[in-house]
Amino acid sequence: MRLHIPTSIRWSDLDAYGHVNNAAMFGLLEEARIHAFWAGDSGHGDDHLATRILEGGPTADTFTLIAHQEIEYLAPIPYMREPLDLQMWLGHVGGASLDVCYEIYSPTQTATAENPQQLFARATTTIVLVDAKTTKPRRLTDIEREAIAPYTGENIAFKRRT
């Protein structure tokens, strides 16, 4: 199962060509990831996702550090008022790390049979859970694994140039 996180584009996310800048894309992924996994107020309304398993902020017991990120751009994302449909799921889940997989689509509100949603990009972020006191990786708990289990699937297979 996938999480659908509506993610708005800010005017400042655009580059001189009028589409979302490659560096800004990482910020959009970050916003969606925080909304999906951080417990507490994420600023996205009062929904209660089962995947919100990590306390966020500087006083949290666990930090999430990024070990790797990769994006495959398929089409430029122009500015649009409606939020993008940022679809997320978890690929590989290790002892202390997990791969967050994303597909970034055009808004669901504007999709029709004649004009279906457009896939703009695919991405993966590998995050590592780190104990805030020891700064060493910490294993996912059984409760955390149970909460994320319905959202696991295949990792993204990126196209590679040879």
| Residues 18-45, mean pLDDT to the nearest whole number | 82
Residue with tokens 């679809």: 87
The sign of the dihedral angle between the CA atoms of 68, 74, 76, 79 is: negative
The one-letter code for the residue type at 18 is G
Closest CA to 64 of 39, 85, 28, 88: 39
Question: What are the tens digits of pLDDT across the range 99-139?
Answer: 999 999 999 877 778 888 999 999 999 999 999 999 999 99
- CA dihedral 107→109→111→112, nearest 10 degrees, is 180
Q: What is the residue extent of each domain of the chain?
A: 3-151
Three-class SS state of 87: strand
Q: Are strands 97-105 and 84-93 parallel, antiparallel or unpaired?
A: antiparallel
- What is the pLDDT confidence band of residue 44, given thresholds at 50, 70 and 90? very low
Q: What is the pTM of this model?
A: 0.87
What percent helix, strand, coil does the chain show, rounded to 5? 20, 35, 45
The neighbouring-strand residues paired with 39 are 55
Mean of the per-residue pLDDT values of the chain = 89
Per-residue tokens: 107: 């808004």
Q: What share of the chain in percent tops pLDDT 70? A: 93
Q: What is the CATH number of domain 3-151?
A: 3.10.129.10
Question: What is the C-alpha separation between 132 and 140, in angstroms, rounded?
Answer: 14
The neighbouring-strand residues paired with 101 are 89, 124
